[in-house]
Amino acid sequence: MIAKAFRMCRSGTSSMRRLVEYITSEQGKAHRIGEIIISNCQYESPELAMWEMLITQARNHRATSDKTYHLLLSFRPGENPTPDTLRKVESAICRKLGFEEHQRIAVVHRDTDSVHLHIAINKIHPRKLTIHNPYRDWKDLGKECERLEKMLYLAADNHSPSVKTETERKARDIEALTGEQSLLTWIRQECLPALKMVDSWEAFHRELANAGLTIKLQNNGVNFVAASGERVKGSGVDRAFSKSALEKRFGAFQEMPAVIKDVTPQNRTSGIRWRLHRRRKPHSRKRRSGAKTGGRSASPPSGTSSNHKSPPLWRRSKTTACRRGARTPVALPRRSSTRPST
């Protein structure tokens, strides 16, 4: 049995309604939908339970993260668990993640070689109205699946994670989505042996300069920084490159000398498009501020120079308004302070 939680790129892409409609749809197949398990809802119908979960989510006004949790439990090919076993598995997994009292809809699919169970979970507690985000859920899922396989006599799967750190997981996801090599993988393949053989800060900085990299302090650690500005934690590359390990080998930390910075890289990194820990580009800030004004920038008022920068429309005084679609603001008449004589 394998358990996997689906991640949402943005909170806006998650929808409890779309998820429930997908897992409860036959999609033109006669035997796609199996058992349906509804927990902590007042209604036994999936559609009514979905609306109950949406109402609960709407009552929480503070949470900014994703309010829906999509969990998939897949069994080995040829394995056909009983409805009672499916209920025990669903209840134990959700209890382990901290969703025991949360509203959820679980639907069994039998349209593939492997029986699998989709669980739509409301992360908003129905009474407390607080959100619950499991921390490092993949670890808890692996341990609980291994325990359930032994207790319920299910076919065993390999639950040891292929990656051990958050940095490795991000690098793996980026390489899978883009097909490009991450900075972490490139440093391990091209620079790791040479960096482990040096015995001084000068030699260490020179090897980094030959690879087009620099090392900079970051809080209580160090980062490897490429020419494009992308960076990766030193301890994420290898434990031998943490700040404490480097200072133990070479002494107190030393910045890269200017003479070494001017060295032309022999192992260039400019040909590789780094995507690990990608920084926000400057123009994204402009798009955000422009989104509040419909993406339009007001032209300078008449009689002013072209260098005049007018404030955004949403920051102007109440005496100035702008028609939708118009670029020039329209001044509203001021209310007279004197009353008309009667």
Question: DSSP secondary structure string, 285-314?
Answer: HHHHHHHTTTT--PPPPTTS-TT--PPPGG
The yes-or-no verdict on residue 317 having pLDDT over 70 is: no
Mean pLDDT of 141-149: 92
Residue 91 lies in a domain: yes
The yes-or-no verdict on residue 31 having pLDDT over 80 is: yes
Q: Are residues 123 and 19 in the same domain?
A: yes
Residue 55 lies in a domain: yes
Q: Are residues 110 and 173 in the same domain?
A: no
CA distance 66 to 123: 8
Q: Are residues 138 and 45 in the same domain?
A: yes
- The total domain count for the chain is 2
Residue type, 340: P
Q: Provide the residue range defining the domain that includes 62.
A: 2-151
CA distance 125 to 261: 54
Q: Are residues 24 and 73 in the same domain?
A: yes
CA distance 153 to 82: 12
**Span of 44-53, 80-89, 230-239 with lowest mean pLDDT:** 230-239
Q: Tell me, what's the pLDDT at 289?
A: 45
Share of residues in the chain with pLDDT > 90 (%)? 39
Q: Which of 261, 286, 302 is the last residue of a domain?
A: 261
Q: Tell me, what's the pLDDT at 85?
A: 95
Mean pLDDT of 240-264: 83
Residue 79 lies in a domain: yes
Give the phi and the psi of residue 181 in degrees, each rounded to 5. Answer: -75, 135
Q: Are residues 143 and 72 in the same domain?
A: yes
Q: Which of 212, 230, 261 is the last residue of a domain?
A: 261
Q: Are residues 52 and 145 in the same domain?
A: yes
Q: What is the DSSP string of 40-77?
A: S-S-SSHHHHHHHHHHHHHT--S--S--EEEEEEEPPT
Q: Which of 261, 282, 298 is the last residue of a domain?
A: 261
Give yes or no for a contact between 124 and 131, defined as CB atoms under 8 angstroms apart. Answer: yes
pLDDT band at 334 (very low <50, low <70, confident <90, very high): low
Q: Are residues 123 and 27 in the same domain?
A: yes
**Span of 27-31, 142-146, 160-164, 264-268 with lowest mean pLDDT:** 264-268
Strands 2-6 and 33-39: unpaired
The yes-or-no verdict on residue 58 having pLDDT over 90 is: yes
Residue type, 330: V
Query: What CATH number should be reported for the domain holding residue 85?
Result: 3.30.930.30
Q: Tell me, what's the pLDDT at 93?
A: 96
Give the phi and the psi of residue 222 in degrees, each rounded to 5. Answer: -130, 155
pLDDT tens, residue by residue, 268-309: 444 343 443 333 344 444 444 444 444 444 444 454 444 545
Residue 222 lies in a domain: yes
Residue 51 lies in a domain: yes
Strands, E, within 66-209: which ranges? 68-74, 104-109, 116-122
Enter the pTM of the model. Answer: 0.53
Q: Are residues 205 and 96 in the same domain?
A: no
Residue 340 lies in a domain: no
Q: Are residues 234 and 101 in the same domain?
A: no
Q: Are residues 142 and 38 in the same domain?
A: yes
- In whole angstroms, how far apart are CA 263 and each of 183, 195, 199, 266? 21, 17, 20, 9
Instruction: Count the neighbouring beta carbons within 10 Å of the beta carbon of residue 35.
Output: 15
Q: List strands edge to edge, sheet with 116-122.
A: 2-6, 68-74, 116-122, 104-109, 33-39
CA distance 192 to 238: 8
Q: Are residues 215 and 102 in the same domain?
A: no
pLDDT tens, residue by residue, 87-136: 999 999 999 999 999 999 999 999 888 999 999 999 999 999 999 999 88
Q: Are residues 249 and 134 in the same domain?
A: no
Residue 313 lies in a domain: no
pLDDT band at 230 (very low <50, low <70, confident <90, very high): confident
Mean pLDDT taken over the chain: 78
Residue 331 lies in a domain: no
